Structure 1
């Protein structure tokens, strides 16, 4: 049943429930939530006793499954940890980040902005800067540069005190990024 739930096969989940005794574990709802199989999540909630763990909301947040996150918040008591927002930040799911910020108390870790910068999610970096006090470290600029995210490096340089531009440029070069385009050419 775990695998059927994970893959969104609601009819198989129902058949196994009615015809077999093995049942499932909390992984069934966790995986269904992660993969956005909302119908399976709701069916398991209404028909099975295993429930889920904090992973359900965290994995749903990681994959941008906002409706699933909202439903778990309203109907389940397991909640989440700061990993939910961290994972949403990591993957650039700003709608999920905003919702968690407004409706949950766990927040995010101090490395959230670093990860967003390293993954090139400037819209998330800006939102975190304006709406949260967690800040960032030098890793934000370093990781953004190492991964070739010039727009993020520029924004961090202009708006944050963390980071050393020279070191970030060095990391960009080491990773094969053409940094000539990063600076205006002399006439």
Structure 2
């Protein structure tokens, strides 16, 4: 109680702190401060988004009950990126926001497997190649594995291995190689791994260079593995 009284006095002396107090009230689910201090939030943008970023589902529900909706559309993407499954479910199920491919891709990029699973299994939404590559780039092998087993043909194998190798994620390179042995990566994977000092990745790529790294065959013009049996020179 004393804190709120002092806060009211502080705001009377320094009124430009009002937006900071509003953000705190929303992020910390202390929305009673808004009434106690007679703070008007109508001119504050995207408070629902602020609550989503901080994982504050009670705050979002309270804002909706107050008739405040600014930032709702952005909130879904923020929740997906930040890994807050409960907020994603609430916004999609109760607020009827569309669970888009962009939402799935964003959660995949950040490695939030539960959100990817829910979107695919309950919201009937899939992902694009960008989501698969993004998960590989971030080293999220659990997400990569789920995506591969759910949709084996979705996602560029070459771009995914290139991205994983560039960032030093050997476990991702090995998984994709084992699951998609007839596919491969470009020479960029090796060059980027060398450039970034990922010697363990370099060693693996060199060991499997013939069947993993692909390029355009000078004889037949086909983009394929370096050790492919070329009929043009057979």
2:136 paired residue number: 89
C-alpha distance in 2 between matches for 1:138 and 1:28: 40
Alignment of 1:160-171 (within 5 A): 160-161=209-210, 162=213
Cα distance in 2, alignment partners of residues 66 and 49 from structure 1: 22
Taking structure 1 as reference, are residues 97 and 10 closer, same or farther at Cα in structure 2, changes over 3 Å only?
A: same
List aligned pairs for 1:36-185, cutoff 5 A.
36-104=83-151, 107-109=154-156, 110-132=158-180, 133-161=182-210, 162=213
Q: Distance in 1 between matches of 2:122 and 2:143?
A: 17
The alpha-carbon deviation at position 21 of structure 1 amounts to 4.4
Shift of 1:45: 2.2
Q: Could you tell me the TM-score, scaled by structure 1's length?
A: 0.79
What's the Cα RMSD here? 1.8
| 2-structure distance, mates of 1:157, 1:45 | 46
Could you state the TM-score of these two structures normalised by the residue count of structure 2? 0.64
Unaligned runs of 5+ in 2: 1-47, 215-234
Structure 1 position 6 matched with structure 2 position 47: no
Change over 3 Å in CA distance of 1:115–1:43 after alignment to 2: same
Rounded Cα–Cα distance in structure 2 between residues aligned with 1:32 and 1:137 = 34
Deviation at 1:24, TM superposition (A): 4.5
Separation in 2 of the partners of 1:114 and 1:3?
35
Deviation digits for residues 102-134 of structure 1, max 9, x if unmatched? 113562223111111111111111111111243
Give the deviation of 1:22 after TM superposition.
3.1
C-alpha spacing 1:113/1:19, structure 2 compared with 1 (3 Å): same
> CA separation of 1:7/1:105 partners in 2, compared to 1, >3 Å: closer, same or farther?
farther
Choose the corresponding residue for 1:31, options 64, 78, 87.
Answer: 78
Distance 1:68 1:106 in 2: 21
1:67 CA drift (Å): 1.1
Q: Of the two structures, which has the highest relative contact order with CA contacts closer than 8 Å and spacing of 6 or more?
A: 1
Cα distance between partner residues in 1 of 2:105 and 2:67: 30
Paired residues of 1:64 and 1:93 also in contact (CA < 8 A): yes
